[in-house]
Amino acid sequence: MQTKVWIDGKLIDKADAKISVYDHGLLYGDGVFEGIRVYHGRIFEAQAHLQRLYDSARAIRLEIPMASEDLLAAMEQTVQANGFTDCYIRAMVTRGIGCLGISPTKCPRPSVIIIADKIELYPRELYQKGMAIITASVIRNHPNSVSPRIKSLNYLNNILAKIEAIDAGVPEAILLNHEGNVAECTGDNIFIAQAGKIYTPTTADGILEGITRKVIFRLCQSLGIGCVERTLQRHDLYVAEECFLTGTAAEVIPVTRIDGRPIGTGQVGALTRQLTDAFHAYVKKVAEQGSAH
- Separation of first and last alpha carbons in the chain: 29
Nearest to 24 by CA among 78, 91, 105, 117: 105
Q: What is the mean pLDDT of residues 36-52?
A: 96
Q: What is the mean pLDDT of residues 88-93?
A: 98
Distance, in Å, from the CA atom of 180 to the CA atom of 140, rounded to the nearest integer, reads 10
Q: Under a CB-based contact definition with an 8 Å cutoff, are residues 24 and 100 in contact? A: no
Task: Check whether 292 has a pLDDT greater than 50.
Answer: no
pLDDT tens track for 118-135: 988 899 999 999 999 999
The CATH topology of domain 125-284 is D-amino Acid Aminotransferase; Chain A, domain 2 (3.20.10)
pLDDT tens track for 233-283: 999 999 999 999 999 999 999 999 999 999 999 999 999 999 999 999 999
Distance, in Å, from the CA atom of 112 to the CA atom of 91, rounded to the nearest integer, reads 7
Contacts of 56 (CB under 8 A, 6+ apart): 32, 149, 150, 151, 152
pLDDT of 14 reads 94
Where do runs of H (alpha helix) occur along 21-96? 24-28, 46-59, 68-81
Nearest to 276 by CA among 205, 235, 223, 202: 223
- Rounded percentage of the chain residues whose pLDDT exceeds 90: 94
Task: Check whether 145 has a pLDDT greater than 50.
Answer: yes
Task: Check whether 70 has a pLDDT greater than 90.
Answer: yes
Distance, in Å, from the CA atom of 189 to the CA atom of 250, rounded to the nearest integer, reads 10
Task: Check whether 67 has a pLDDT greater than 80.
Answer: yes
- Output 291 or 71, whichever has higher pLDDT: 71
Nearest to 257 by CA among 244, 246, 247: 244
Phi, psi of 22 (to 5 degrees): -95, 5
pLDDT tens track for 190-215: 999 999 999 999 999 999 999 999 99
Tell me the domain boundaries of the chain.
4-117, 125-284
Rounded to two decimals, the pTM is 0.94
pLDDT of 290 reads 63
Task: Check whether 138 has a pLDDT greater than 70.
Answer: yes
Task: Check whether 8 has a pLDDT greater than 90.
Answer: yes
Name the maximum alpha-carbon separation found in the chain.
Answer: 57
pLDDT of 175 reads 98
pLDDT of 287 reads 80
Q: Under a CB-based contact definition with an 8 Å cutoff, are residues 173 and 186 in contact? A: yes
pLDDT of 241 reads 98
Active site residue 284: no
Catalytic residue among 14, 118, 129, 151: 151
Where do runs of H (alpha helix) occur along 201-260? 211-223, 234-238
pLDDT tens track for 149-203: 999 999 999 999 999 999 999 999 999 999 999 999 999 999 999 999 999 999 9
Distance, in Å, from the CA atom of 271 to the CA atom of 241, rounded to the nearest integer, reads 10
Q: What is the mean pLDDT of residues 21-33?
A: 97
pLDDT of 293 reads 36
pLDDT of 162 reads 98
The CATH topology of domain 4-117 is D-amino Acid Aminotransferase; Chain A, domain 1 (3.30.470)
